[in-house]
Amino acid sequence: MDIKGANLIKSVRLEGLRILGQPNEFALDYYKQGIDELIYMDCVASLYGRNSLSGLVSTAIENIFVPLTVGGGIRSIDDVFELLRAGADKVAVNTAVVNDPQLITQIVNKFGSQCLVLSIDAKLNSKGKWEVLTESGRERTGLDALDWAIKGAELGVGEILLTSVDREGTRQGFDVELVRLISESVSVPVIASGGLRTAQDFVSVIKETSVDAVAIADAFHYRRLNVNDIREAAKSHGIRVRHYA
């Protein structure tokens, strides 16, 4: 769930934001459908240098009892502390740890690996390599996504949220090659994000890579699919998902 100010928004390739509604209304609906986890991203936070989601988080946890990851604009141990204190279970970091990888170690030492998700926005460059972007896709880094994923896992992140910028919001299916490369190369769980159009896209990325989880935004937000559609597709292809009655 990408959030700008008080609104849930959706972008295409991290650009062109469209307002969809109240984030917590969508979140509660997903919780009632049996979603496994929720991710809140403050997608203008990098621009202002701070995350502004703690109020939204503390309201969300009143009625939502699944794990909540919060990202966007997290720059310091204090930022992490504030979000965890508001009720987040994990924080997702990108720009700040690319600039200072030691921040990963500091967060892990203080709060544990389980609360740190490394968010990698990867875009295919002209050399045929996936490059890490920061600042919500605005800045190129020259950093190779595979090298960065391996380094992040070594520094102790608990999970990697891998977004294909080329596919994000495009409904063209996951970038299976990218997801396979990263998920087969690191020892921590990887979440694939960006491009899901159909439930079959979910099945394909699970079957063809070592990915551990899938993040869905566009297809759910626009109600093209619901959580049960994904669950049924998974079951019919022998993919183990949470039993939800």
Partner 1 sequence: MLKNNLTIIDYGIGNIMSVRRGFEYCGANVFLASTEDEILSADRLVLPGVGAFRNGMDALIRLGFSDAILAKAQSGTPILGICLGMQLLFSKSYEFGETNGLGLIPGEVIGISKSSIDGNSLKIPNIGWRNLRSGESRRPWKNTLLEEISTTDEMYFVHSFTAVCGDDSNSLAKSEYGGFDLTAVVQSGNVYGCQFHPEKSGDAGLRLLNSFIKTT
110 binds partner 1 (CB under 8 A): yes
Site residues (CB under 8 A) for partner 1, limited to 26-45: 31, 34, 36
Residue whose CB is less far from partner 1, 64 or 97: 64
Q: Which of 240, 231, 243 lies closest to 199, judged by CA? A: 231
Task: Please check whether residue 57 is in contact with residue 71, taking contact to mean a CB–CB distance below 8 angstroms.
Answer: no
Q: What values do phi and psi take at 159, rounded to 5?
A: -150, 160
112 binds partner 1 (CB under 8 A): yes
Number of residues that bind partner 1 (CB under 8 A): 33
Q: How far apart are CA 214 and CA 161, in angstroms?
A: 9
| Piece of 43-51, 94-102, 103-111, 139-147 that binds partner 1 (CB under 8 A) | 103-111
Residue whose CB is less far from partner 1, 125 or 228: 228
Among positions 189, 197, 226, 239, the unique one binding partner 1 when judged by CB under 8 A:
189
Residue whose CB is less far from partner 1, 160 or 165: 160
Site residues (CB under 8 A) for partner 1, limited to 143-162: 158-159
Q: Which residues are catalytic?
A: 2, 121
The pair of structure tokens assigned to 180 is: 């396979």
Q: Where are the beta strands (DSSP E) in 5-93?
A: 7-12, 15-21, 38-42, 68-71, 90-93
Burial class (CB in 10 A: 0-12, 13-18, 19+), 182: buried
For binding to partner 1 (CB under 8 A), which residues are involved? 31, 34, 36, 58, 61-62, 65-67, 84-89, 109-115, 158-159, 187-189, 212-213, 242-245
